[in-house]
Chain A
Amino acid sequence: MISFSSENQAAIVERYPEVFRPDWWNRGKIALSLGGAVILFLFGIAQLDIPFDRLSDGMARLGGFLRLMLPPDPGSWAEALKYLNALGETVSIAFLGTLGGALLALPVALLAARNVVANRIVHFFTRRSLDTIRGVDILIWALIWVGVVGLGPFAGILAVICSDFGTFGKLFSEAIETADKNPAEGVQSAGGSHFHAVRFGLMPQVFPILLSQVLYYFESNTRSATIIGIVGAGGIGLQLAEQIRVLEWQKVSFLILLILIAVSAIDWISGKLRFAIIGQRAVA
């Protein structure tokens, strides 16, 4: 080990040339990918016809909106109660949607897990159909369910169930596949059937993980449930979209404040519950 000083710099450069020689190959790769990203961005600006002249105008108008938003004000007590009711609807949508999606996804996830059902074809088809369901955005599901059961929060619940079904199916089956297989083998070697192996060897291992994933999605679904009202599927999003369209900015900011408070409250509660159930373990 030689220490660095200006006198022996040349010696050090000679001993460790690879540290001091610029790595042109790597730099070239980085420059190329950065250049590509920038060119794609510029192409996007041209292709999407981004109107930069409208940018300053829009910013000014946005500032105006912000000024009009303060202070947040629901208008009257009756309005405030209506919004709280809508918030309750949103939380209900998130809760029942998450619960329903999880309950429906559990059997399908068992089908999609390679260590439970060893059939390649079943595995492939369940996985691909789950992917398809997940590929459709929750707003589109809401749109479809509004057509089936009519406007209102019930359509929202069904939409959350559909979209969560796809997500949970994938997450659950991955959790099940990574489970330790020794307990299941133990059950089978003690004479248990395949069903027993799944019930007593597998489920106790993965159940806390699944539960914590469900709780985690409850938080994130509260966020998504706030928007499906935009297509008429109930909840606070309906009120929010309406108030934005009629430019009632004080009510808009009140509603946004309500959403922020509700989401952080649910964050907090489900975080507590998660740690109570699984301890300080990371979500797999």
Chain B
Amino acid sequence: MRTAVPEFPEARLRELADRYAAAVAAKRRRIWLGSAILIAAALAAGWMGDVDLWKFAENFWRFPAYFASIAPTFSFSSAWNDLSEWLWGLPRWTLLLGDTLLIAYMGTLSGAICGFVLCFLASANLVRSRAIVFVTRRVLEFCRTVPEIVFALVFVLAFGLGPLPGVLAIAIHTTGALGKQFAEVVENIDNKPIEGVAASGGSWIQIVRFGAVPQVLSNFVSYALLRFEINVRGAAVMGFVGAGGIGQDLIEAVRKFYYSDVSAILLLIVVTVMLIDFVTERVRHRLLGLEGAGT
């Protein structure tokens, strides 16, 4: 079978080839330039951050050694005894873990309620006044950017040691984080229901209640659950600054070199976090699935 293969004239072909080569070269140049900048920045950051590869190489053996030393001792003959000795504090730790979960829960719930109230004020499609939107957004940004553990440090001084500062710190941080996410959801909603309520004479509260909330609720719950997951992790370290929960025992065990306690508490925290992740992920997928089926 004969087919006609179109051939470009020589000059045209050269021009195209040159252009292709130029494009490739330009891309290569951009990549080289980017990597050069990246490497320069990394070197500068390494100098700034006291990176000492020699010290790292010299001390790296301590990293696996640390895990080896916190590992519980097990022998086949007395495995059961070893296990009960390793987890000797289980009742106390379970209680503390429960406290941690409660701190995360109470912080998330109060933060979600505040975020729920504030998010409507931060949405440009619901609020006419630019000033209100701007101020609410900055307040949320402040709540979000200051790390929760810093809030906890300050609150421990104001309210004394215990879970209260932890709950408050998580609540404030959650308000900022969820308020922003909620506001983004609200700004992306369909405007027709809002206009409908407004056209039939609804007040601002009614517009929000009947025009906006039904559209966003399942998304809100999903984000709040995700935040709860994150807050469980945050609450686990609240005890580092004296704000309640299991962190207190963990940092004590680390500082006092109670090696087997460190591994036991770490294991409990990791298992709890994974369980919570697993459960909330299930619930979130169901929620989003329901919403997908509804629309």
List A residues at the B interface (Cβ < 8 Å): 37, 40-41, 43-45, 47-51, 54-55, 57-59, 61-62, 65, 88-89, 91-93, 95-96, 99, 131-132, 135-137, 139-140, 143-145, 147-150, 152-154, 156-158, 223-224, 226-227, 230-231, 234, 237, 240-241, 244-245, 247, 252, 256, 259-260, 263-264
Main secondary structure of the interface of A (DSSP, over half): helix
Interface size class of B (residues with CB under 8 A): 35 or more
Q: How far is the CB of B187 from chain A (nearest CB, A)?
A: 14
Query: Can you list 20 A-B contacts with CB-CB less than 8 angstroms, sorted by A residue number?
Result: A44-B105, A48-B163, A48-B164, A50-B163, A55-B164, A58-B159, A62-B158, A65-B154, A92-B44, A92-B48, A92-B49, A96-B45, A132-B270, A140-B250, A148-B63, A224-B147, A234-B50, A240-B153, A244-B150, A252-B154
Which residues of B sit under 8 angstroms from A91, Cβ to Cβ? 45, 48
Q: B142 interface residue, CB < 8 Å from A? A: yes
* B159 surroundings in chain A (CB, below 8 A): 51, 54-55, 57-58, 61
Interface residues, chain B, with chain A CB atoms under 8 Å away: 38, 41-42, 44-46, 48-52, 55-56, 59-60, 62-63, 66, 98-99, 102-103, 105-106, 109, 141-142, 145-147, 149-150, 153-155, 157-160, 162-164, 167, 233-234, 236-237, 240-241, 244, 250-251, 254, 266, 269-270, 273-274, 277
Query: Per DSSP, are chain B's interface residues mostly helix, strand or loop, or mixed?
Result: helix
The total of Cβ contacts below 8 Å across the A-B interface reads: 170
Top 10 nearest A-B pairs by Cβ distance?
A: A58-B159, A92-B45, A92-B49, A92-B48, A48-B163, A135-B273, A153-B49, A135-B270, A44-B102, A58-B158
> What is the bound-complex CA distance between A37 and B113, given in angstroms?
12
Is B237 in contact with A139, judged by CB distance below 8 angstroms?
yes
A139 to B251, CA, bound (A): 10
Q: Which residues of B contact A40 (CB under 8 A)?
A: 105
Pair A256/B146 contact, Cβ less than 8 Å:
yes
A51 near B42 with CB under 8 A, answer no
CB-nearest residue of chain A to B55: A149
Tell me the smallest distance from the CB of A283 to a CB of chain B, in Å: 13
